[in-house]
Amino acid sequence: MAQKTLVEEQVLIQPLQAKDRILDEATREGLERAEEVGTTNVWERFETMQPQCGFGKLGLCCKNCNLGPCRIDPFGMGAQRGVCGATAATIVARNLARKTAAGAACHSDHGRHMVHTMLMMAEGEAEDYHIGDPAKLRTVAEEYGVELDGRDDRAIARDLAEAMLAEFGQQHGELNFVKRAPEGQQKTWRQLGISPRGIDLELVEILHRTHIGVDNEYHSLLSSAMRAALSDGWGGSMIATEVSDILFGMPSPVRAVINLGVLREDQVNVVVHGHVPLLSEMVLAAAQSPDMIGLAKEKGATGINVVGMCCTANELLMRQGIPVAGSFIQQELAIATGAVDAMIVDVQCIMPSLPVVAECFHTKVISTDPRGHFEGAEHIELDESRALEIAKEIIRRGIEAYGERNPDRVRIPDERMDLIAGFTTENIFHHLGGRFRGSYRPLNDGIIAGRIRGVAGVVGCDNPKNMSGSAHVEMVKELIKHDVAVLQTGCSALACARAGLMQPEATFEYAGQGLQEICETVGIPPVLHLGSCVDNSRILTAATEMVKEGGVGNDISELPAAGAAPEWMSEKAIAIGWYFVASGVFTVFGTPLNVLGSPPVTRYLTDELEGIVGGKWAFESDPVKAAHLMIDHINKKREALHLRPMMYGEE
Amino acid sequence: MERTIYVEPERCLGCSSCELACAVAHSQSGELFQAIRENLLSEPRLQVEVVGDQPLPLHCLHCEDAPCVQVCPTEAMAKTGPGEPVICDRERCVGCSLCVLACPYGVLRLDRGGKKVLKCDLCIGRLGQGLEPACAEACPSSAIQFLPLEEIDQREGDGWRKEFLIVYRGQAALISQAGG
pLDDT, one tens digit per residue, over A498-535 is 999 999 999 999 999 999 999 988 889 999 999 999 99
Confidence class for position B165, pLDDT limits 50, 70, 90: low
Question: Which chain B residue lies closest to A598 (C-alpha atoms)?
Answer: B36
Quick: pLDDT tens for A114-152.
999 999 999 999 999 999 999 999 999 999 999 999 999
pLDDT, mean of residues B170-179: 49
CA distance B84 to chain A (A): 6
Note the pLDDT of residue A16.
72
Note the pLDDT of residue A9.
45
Note the pLDDT of residue A64.
97
- How far apart, in whole angstroms, are the C-alpha atoms of residue B75 and residue A379? 71
Helix (H), strand (E) at residue A470? helix A470-481
A651 near A645, Cβ under 8 Å? no
Amino acid at B36: I
Contacts of A55 in chain B (CB under 8 A): 15-17, 20
3-class secondary-structure state, position A220: helix
Contacts of A589 in chain B (CB under 8 A): none
Could you tell me what percent of chain A has a pLDDT over 90? Answer: 91
Confidence class for position B2, pLDDT limits 50, 70, 90: confident
Amino acid at A97: A
Instruction: Output phi, psi for A181, to 5 deg.
Output: -70, 155
Residue A596 near chain B (CB below 8 Å): yes
CA A534, chain centre distance (Å): 6
- How far apart, in whole angstroms, are the C-alpha atoms of residue B93 and residue B100? 12
Instruction: Output phi, psi for A441, to 5 deg.
Output: -50, -50
Contacts of A92 in chain B (CB under 8 A): none
CB contact under 8 A, A596 and B21: no
Amino acid at A318: M
Q: A61-62 and A70-71 as β-strands: parallel, antiparallel, unpaired?
A: antiparallel
CA distance A438 to chain B (A): 48
- B20, B84, B130: residue with CB nearest A13: B130
**Positions in chain A short of pLDDT 50:** 1-10
Residue A406 near chain B (CB below 8 Å): no
Note the pLDDT of residue B157.
59
CB contact under 8 A, A77 and B32: no
The Cα angle at residue A576 between residues A641 and A246, in degrees rounded to 5: 100
- ipTM for the predicted complex comes to 0.77
- Roughly what angle, to the nearest 10 degrees, separates helices A88-122 and A277-287? 40
- B17, B19, B128: residue with CB nearest A6: B128
CA A633, chain centre distance (Å): 23
Q: How many CB atoms lie within 10 A of CB B43?
A: 20
- A12, A57, A71: residue with CB nearest B32: A57
Note the pLDDT of residue B127.
87
Residue A71 near chain B (CB below 8 Å): yes
DSSP lists the bridge partners of residue A256 as: A419
Residue A599 near chain B (CB below 8 Å): yes
Tally the residues of chain A. 651
A326 near A334, Cβ under 8 Å? yes
Note the pLDDT of residue B61.
87
Quick: pLDDT tens for B77-136.
999 888 788 999 999 999 999 999 999 888 999 999 999 999 999 998 898 888 999 999
Note the pLDDT of residue B94.
96
Does A277 sit behind a cis peptide bond, omega within 30 degrees of 0 on the bond before it?
no
Quick: pLDDT tens for A165-187.
999 999 999 999 999 999 999 99
**Side-chain-side CA neighbours of residue B76 (13 Å):** 21
CB contact under 8 A, B80 and A7: no
DSSP lists the bridge partners of residue A457 as: A487, A563
Mean pLDDT computed over every residue of chain A:
95
- Roughly what angle, to the nearest 10 degrees, separates helices A571-582 and A88-122? 90
Helix (H), strand (E) at residue A99? helix A88-122
- How far apart, in whole angstroms, are the C-alpha atoms of residue A588 and residue A630? 8
Q: How many CB atoms lie within 10 A of CB A356?
A: 17
Note the pLDDT of residue A1.
36
CB pairs below 8 Å between A and B: how many?
83
Contacts of B32 in chain A (CB under 8 A): 54, 57-58
Note the pLDDT of residue A3.
43
Note the pLDDT of residue B158.
57
Q: Scan residues 221-280 of A and list those with Cβ closer than 8 Å to B.
A: none
Q: Scan residues 75-114 of A and list those with Cβ closer than 8 Å to B.
A: 75-78
3-state SS, A180-211, equals: HCCHHHHHHHHHHCCCCCCHHHHHHHHHHHCC
User: How many angstroms separate the Cα of A508 from the Cα of each of A420, A512, A518, B4, B136?
Assistant: 16, 8, 12, 59, 51
Note the pLDDT of residue A17.
84
Residue A11 near chain B (CB below 8 Å): yes
- How far apart, in whole angstroms, are the C-alpha atoms of residue A633 and residue A628? 8
CA distance B180 to chain A (A): 19
Q: Using an 8 Å CB-CB cutoff, list residues of chain B that contact chain A.
A: 1-3, 15-17, 19-21, 23-24, 32-33, 35-37, 41-44, 80-81, 83-85, 87, 112, 122, 124, 127-132, 137-138, 140
- Counts for chain A of helices (H) and strands (E), in that order: 28, 16
CA distance A12 to chain B (A): 5
A88 near A76, Cβ under 8 Å? no
Instruction: Output phi, psi for A22, to 5 deg.
Output: -75, 125
CA A470, chain centre distance (Å): 16
CB contact under 8 A, A13 and B41: no
Note the pLDDT of residue A580.
98
Quick: pLDDT tens for B30-65.
999 999 999 999 999 999 988 777 888 988 988 889
CA A423, chain centre distance (Å): 15
